[in-house]
Amino acid sequence: MEREHFSQEELRAHVDRVCLALEKSGHASLYRLVQRLTDVTRANFKETCPFGLIQNPEHGRVEITMQPDVTCKLTHMVLSPETAKSYDLDAFMMANISQMQGMSSIPLEPFSIEYMNDDRLATCMKWKSVTLSPANRFSIVASLRKGFEPVQFRGILWADIQVI
């Protein structure tokens, strides 16, 4: 029988590994910032979990699909400045539901770490996402902007998760 949720210990070990990786890469402030922003906007979920968004573009396009092993609500996307300036978001799906109904694409600059240092902005930027079960996937599709050199797509997608 497959488990549907992380244990408390597994979650803490995962978050500790991500924090250590952020510290080693010189981005320890990113974790502290998103923790502060999440505290401002948090719902009834007990823990926060980061999902890494890293991919090299193919033909000027990035498609990242993940299936969390936990019940979660995606809350914030924080991107490296280079990623935010170089890409437009073409599609964002959660549990096969488009989060961009009526839009063709949106610029990703507002998701840059450079702009995520204000509590009011964090509240404004918090997604009102659907609850994803371990059976659901989410996907992000982004395309390189015209005139920009290809760069690796790098960021973190934060989620509030339920831990049993």
Residue 49's pLDDT is what?
82
Domain containing residue 29: 8-161
On average, the pLDDT of the chain sits at 78
| Separation of alpha carbons 31 and 96, rounded Å | 29
| Separation of alpha carbons 75 and 125, rounded Å | 8
CB 95 within 8 A of CB 138: yes
Q: To 10 degrees, what angle do helices 28-41 and 8-24 make?
A: 130
Residue 160's pLDDT is what?
83
Q: What is the pLDDT confidence band of residue 1, given thresholds at 50, 70 and 90?
A: very low
Question: Is 15 part of a structural domain of the chain?
Answer: yes
* Amino acid, single-letter form, for residue 41: T
Which of the residue ranges 38-42, 90-94, 121-125 has the most confident prediction, judged by mean pLDDT? 90-94
pLDDT of 45 above 60? no
pLDDT of 72 above 70? yes
Question: Is 153 part of a structural domain of the chain?
Answer: yes
pLDDT of 2 above 70? no
| Separation of alpha carbons 81 and 112, rounded Å | 5
DSSP SS3 for 3: coil
Residue 82's pLDDT is what?
93
Locate 12 and state its tokens. 């803490």
Kindly give the pairing relationship between strand 72-79 and strand 61-66. unpaired
Number of domains in the chain: 1
Higher pLDDT, 145 or 98: 145
Question: Is 150 part of a structural domain of the chain?
Answer: yes
Question: Is 43 part of a structural domain of the chain?
Answer: yes
Question: Is 58 part of a structural domain of the chain?
Answer: yes
